[in-house]
Amino acid sequence: MSTLSAIIFSIVFIISIGFFAWSCFRRYRLVARGKSENRFDAVGKRLLNMLVYGFGQRKVLGRRYGINHMILFWCFIILLIANAGFILSGLFPDILAFSKLPSPVYKTLVYIFDILSGLVLVAIIIAIVRRIFFPPYSGARNMEGFAILIMVFLLMSTYFGLHAIEISQHIEKAEEAMPISNSVASLFMKDISQENLATYANLFWWLHALILLGFLNYLPYSKHMHIISAIPNCFFKRLDNLNSLRPEHINKDKNFGVGQVYEFTWKDLFDSYSCTECGRCTSVCPPHLVGKTLDPQRIVLSIKTNLLKNGYLHRNDMRNEIPLIGNNGKASISPESIWECTTCGACVEVCPVCIEQYPKIIDMRRHLVLMKGSFGTEIKTAFRNMSNHGNPWGKPWWSRSEWLNKAKLNRLGSCSQAEIVLWVGCVDSFDDRNNQVVISLARILQAAGLNFAILGNEEWCCGDPARRLGEEYLFQLLAARNIETLKKHGVREIVTACPHCYNTIKNEYPQFGGDFQVTHHTELLARLMAEGKIRVSNRLEEDVVYQDPCYLGRYNGIYESPRNLLRAMYTRPLEMESSRNNSLCCGGGGGHMWLAEHGKDKINRLRVRDAGATNATMIATACPYCLTMLEDGISDEGELAARIRVMDIAELIERTL
């Protein structure tokens, strides 16, 4: 390298670093316009998440080809050292270079660099082949994807080219430590004259340098921004299971929900920068799987596009602002897709870079409900019913405990003297089929000698459907009412057969001063069984398969209690192909239990076909929504109706007592 080259490179380098910094700053400023949110607490936990999900690539590895990405990721991190050395030697030729290091150290380094660069090249070729022949999602064959792969491919090719030339020029001190570069040299460089080699050396050096700087500057303008933002995004990950929604403070003169991109929090906006467009969230999204418009990846990307398009508008130009919600192309999100979400959480679960997709959808629902009042009549009716009668169906509130009449139970005591209060929930209270579940549960509890009570007609809807459908105000009214009732009766411990009530009371009521110890019936039953208070006569041969309710599994991590119960009752419980944290929603969450599902296929039908594929004759579940949705699904799937039934685990236990 001549001094002139060094000077030219210095100028190029400073300009490109400056441009990169400016690009990042512009992007940063847009994110900083988002609403505030504290994601800097519990630094220890956050660092751990960053290690596990960011550096450990835990969720990337969960899928095929994940290992390919892992190799690229780690090789890249290590090769950053090589590239730093490369740049330093370009800026300060012959002064700063790895070759100045003691020979053994230098040799080790170049050996590692050489091998890793080879690995990267192989991984990149695999990635290109995959993208062409086995695209992971429908839009995978896009220019952007190939552009970055080709850039990395060229970066590695020039790396080997440069080193092979240096070996051929006999100026490389450690050629024996560079097996791949050495082979390249002996394969391609043998017949080239020393003079030409010098020219090529220069050419390859500049090519490598320019591709490297070009790559750097391309990042902020592409989906590969995730190379910069994904690791911090894992640091900023929500620390709970994302099982509670952010409360709105009900004040005057306030905008509720998100109707404009800046009404998102900075983390929501940062999420959109981190999207790698891998398509995982979309591939597991239940409405998407049955052909609806919802596409969680598109939602995240629309937020990004909207932010970038509106963010740089001049203040006087605001009338050209593209609305966030509407049908205005890529930069806006259609209201239909917003209403289709079942809040099953599969998107969040599968996202390799810890993006929180569905809470954004709820934020936008809040805007449509609280600020616009524009949403379907079905939903309005459900809200009115919850508000007037304390349940989404609009059954008279004073008939809530009528199921007791058919239960033939011993007299229940008062809540204040009971060990535990059984929270019945709207579905188990009012739905004929689900009445059977709470009756079974109550009988088991009495048989186990547990002193429990119910709130009777004083219990109102926990508010889950209202909150998930965006009616935060109604939710807060219902929550306040129930918390007051529970406190009035001195209730401390609650058991419920509904994962939605469970999640709401356990994880969301504390936001409003309601701290109760909440147990799901499968947990309580598993405990009673372990204590020997419930005894199952003999294990059945029947083929049973368990449906993980989203709000029990993904939301609250309860996978084992229901399975333990099933293992105690059945010789061989089966598993569906997607189960536990990858379980598929029944289609009833997010308020959809009370909304008609349109379209050719339905989520519940899809799920019962999954169950049918196991050849099970019984679907066991632990959620009234799942029970209703799957039973409906089975009756829609004519062929399955004859051979599969759905029952709650409590009903199954009662049968074997």
Partner 1 sequence: MKIIVCVKQVPDSSVPIDFDLMNNVIREESIVYVINEADESALQEALRIKSATGAEITVISAGPRRVEETLRYCLSLGADNAVYLKDEDIIRSDAYATGRILASLIGRYEYQLILCGTQSSDSSSAQVGPTIAEFLNIPQITYAIDIKVDETKESATVTRLIDRGDQMVIECPLPAVISVQRNIHDLPYPTLPMRIMAREAFIQTYDLQSLGLSNHDVGVQGSQIMHEKLFTPRPKTKGAIIPDNSLSVTERINLLLSSETSSRGDADLLEGDPEIVADKIVDYLAEEGYLMG
Contacts with partner 1, residue ranges (CB under 8 A): 250-254, 256, 369-373, 375, 377, 380-381, 383-384, 388-389, 394-399, 473
CB of 591 to partner 1, least distance (A): 14
Element containing residue 619 per DSSP (H, E)? strand 618-621
Q: Count Cβ atoms below 10 Å from residue 74 Cβ, excluding itself.
A: 15
As a whole number of angstroms, the longest Cα–Cα distance in the chain is: 101
- Euclidean distance between CA atoms 452 and 631, whole angstroms: 30
Token pair for 37: 């949110």
- Euclidean distance between CA atoms 326 and 144, whole angstroms: 26
**Nearest to partner 1 of 138, 377 (CB atom):** 377
Per DSSP, the residues of 48-115 read HHIIIIIIS-TTTTTSTTHHHHHHHHHHHHHHHHHHHHHHHHHHSTTTS-GGGS-HHHHHHHHHHHHH
- Euclidean distance between CA atoms 582 and 44, whole angstroms: 28
CB of 310 to partner 1, least distance (A): 23
CB of 377 to partner 1, least distance (A): 5
- Is the dihedral angle over the CA atoms 71, 76, 77, 81 positive or is it negative? positive
**Nearest to partner 1 of 191, 253 (CB atom):** 253
Token pair for 154: 């060229």
**Nearest to partner 1 of 373, 532 (CB atom):** 373
Which of 327, 244, 283, 329 has the alpha carbon at shortest distance from 555?
A: 244
Backbone dihedral angles phi then psi of residue 351, each to the nearest 5 degrees: -65, 120
Q: What is the CA radius of gyration of the chain?
A: 30
**Nearest to partner 1 of 300, 386 (CB atom):** 386
Q: Which residues pair with 518 in a beta bridge?
A: 494
Q: Is 439 exposed, middle or buried (0-12, 13-18, 19+ CB in 10 A)?
A: buried
**Nearest to partner 1 of 82, 369 (CB atom):** 369
**Nearest to partner 1 of 373, 638 (CB atom):** 373
**Nearest to partner 1 of 484, 560 (CB atom):** 484
What are the Cα distances from residue 484, in Å, to 456, 467, 468? 15, 19, 22
CB of 366 to partner 1, least distance (A): 9
CB of 285 to partner 1, least distance (A): 28
CB of 265 to partner 1, least distance (A): 19
Q: What is the DSSP letter of 494?
A: E
Amino acid of residue 183: S
What are the Cα distances from residue 97, in Å, to 2, 110, 410? 15, 12, 85
- Euclidean distance between CA atoms 467 and 638, whole angstroms: 35
**Nearest to partner 1 of 256, 551 (CB atom):** 256
CB of 396 to partner 1, least distance (A): 4
**Nearest to partner 1 of 144, 378 (CB atom):** 378
CB of 398 to partner 1, least distance (A): 5
CB of 259 to partner 1, least distance (A): 11
CB of 348 to partner 1, least distance (A): 27
CB of 511 to partner 1, least distance (A): 18
Which of 361, 368, 215 has the alpha carbon at shortest distance from 293?
A: 361
- Euclidean distance between CA atoms 348 and 53, whole angstroms: 13
**Nearest to partner 1 of 49, 429 (CB atom):** 429
Edge-to-edge strands of the sheet including 420-423?
452-453, 420-423, 493-496, 517-520
**Nearest to partner 1 of 33, 254 (CB atom):** 254
**Nearest to partner 1 of 335, 352 (CB atom):** 335
Q: Is 629 exposed, middle or buried (0-12, 13-18, 19+ CB in 10 A)?
A: buried
CB of 251 to partner 1, least distance (A): 8
**Nearest to partner 1 of 327, 388 (CB atom):** 388
Chain centroid, CA 127 distance in Å: 24
- Euclidean distance between CA atoms 95 and 90, whole angstroms: 10
CB of 33 to partner 1, least distance (A): 23
